[in-house]
Amino acid sequence: MIQDSGIIQGYLDVLARELDFDRSLSRCVRQEIEDHLWETVEADQSGNMLEAQRRAIANFGDARAIAAEFAVVSLARRSRRAGVAALLMIVSVLVAMKARVIWLAATPWAISDDLRALRAIVAAIDRYAFWTSVIVGLASWAYIRSRRIPAAFYPAYRRQLRRFSLLCGATAAALGVSVISDAVLTAFRLRAAELSADSVVAMLSVAIEIVCVGILVFQIRAVALRAASTAALLKA
């Protein structure tokens, strides 16, 4: 049977290659479909192994068309993951921000008088930007969570993805502004301080916030790339 497995292996290779943009899905689909095809071959009573394999593949359908349907499922999973990531990153930024505020309160560094007015403006920008990211982030998560997973890459689903990407983009932008404001506020506090373990902790918390925004941007980019792969698969 192993000697005659070329037809099925060739078919599985095409299917797995088309889904290569999602490695774990590609591996999992390959195993699942391989089991199906061999079970079909084993149930075939013609006694001709090659013919049974050809029939199994013909009944299964075109590998690219099936890969395109899996790609839509993968895209839906990826976009939902991005929605959850948006919320997680907002919470992480909040935790880093609060931890830094508590830490800085325990240090002797104070903001100089000439920076107090500017600090108030930056702090207001920080507050508004952060709460904007919370509201828009929640909206983007709720939006994608409430959409049904479509059977195909319908135009309506493309529009939903575009709206979701816009919401996620707005979340990342607002969170980015908030993190920049945090960095400026931290710089105000650290201006008079010398480099020490205490100041490194404060800088580290800002770095964590920057990484959180980076992760969110990466997730949004991944959705866009997955959508492009799915669209390309449908065109092929």
* Cα(182)–Cα(198) distance, integer angstroms: 17
Window 191 to 230, contacts with another protein (CB under 8 A): none
Smaller CB separation from another protein, 63 or 177: 63
Q: C-beta of 62: minimal distance to another protein in Å? A: 8
For residue 219, the minimal CB distance to another protein (Å) is 17
Determine, following the binding rule CB under 8 A, whether residue 172 of this chain makes contact with another protein.
Answer: no
- By rule CB under 8 A, what string of x and - marks binding of each residue 135-164 to another protein? -------------xx-x-------------
Name the packing angle between helices 49-60 and 6-18 (round to 10°).
20
Within 10 A of 216 (CB to CB), how many other CB atoms are there?
27
Alpha carbons 187 and 203: distance in angstroms, whole number: 9
By CB under 8 A, tell whether 45 contacts another protein: no
Nearer to another protein, 68 or 90 (CB): 68
Token pair, residue 178, equals: 């908030």
28 CB contacts (<8 Å, ≥6 apart)? none
Task: State the CB neighbour count (10 A cutoff) for residue 22.
Answer: 19
Toward another protein, which CB reaches closer, 28 or 228? 28
Q: Which of 38, 103, 109, 143 binds another protein (CB under 8 A)?
A: 38
